[in-house]
Structure 1
């Protein structure tokens, strides 16, 4: 079963959105790399405190870790957004229940 991965950045959602839009080519390269590593879904959201959070779906935690640890453009985007500390990464195994769609 796949995993939902959340990556919380210590930067506002508005800031991350602007940086992502302003760096669309770099973001597209990151997306392509993620897909090659197995990413199933990807999006940014804003948490109730205003922080930018990535919500991804991956086949397993190991696939995500291999991608994230080797990805060279993500630190640059984080720097451009003003992120100065490591993001908080969490994994949530997807449950196989009959109500899933």
Structure 2
């Protein structure tokens, strides 16, 4: 069963959006690498001062392999968004409780 990976960092969500608009090739390169390593879905979310990344991966190991390979590109994106702390991915497994919607 797949896992969700979440990564929450302090940073400027508007800077992430601007970076994506101005330098989409950087994001697309990272997404292409992630997809080739098993990425199922990927989304950025923002609040006033935080950025949340939510990915779905086949397993933790697939994400870890991607993160080790593309770490410099991810660091570049984070630095341009004003992120100063090292991101810490968290992994979540689906719980079967019988109330799923969608």
Unaligned runs of 5+ in 2: none
| TM-score under structure 2 length normalisation | 0.85
Question: Are positions 1:32 and 2:52 aligned together?
Answer: no
Aligned pairs for 1:1-101 within 5 A: 1-47=1-47, 50-71=49-70, 72-96=72-96, 98=98, 99-101=100-102
| 3-state SS in 2 of match to 1:84 | coil
In the superposition, the TM-score normalised over structure 1's length comes to: 0.86
| Partner-residue secondary structure (3-state), 1:6 | strand
Contact 1:13 1:53 in 2 (8 A): no
What is the total number of aligned residue pairs between the two structures?
Answer: 100
**5+ unaligned residues in a row in structure 1: which ranges?**
none
Larger strand fraction of residues? 1
Q: Deviations over 1:38-81 (max 9, x none)?
A: 0000010124x531111100001111111012203111111222
Output the aligned Cα RMSD.
Answer: 1.7
Equivalent position SS for 1:20: helix
Is the 1:10–1:87 contact (alpha carbons within 8 Å) kept by the matching residues of 2? no
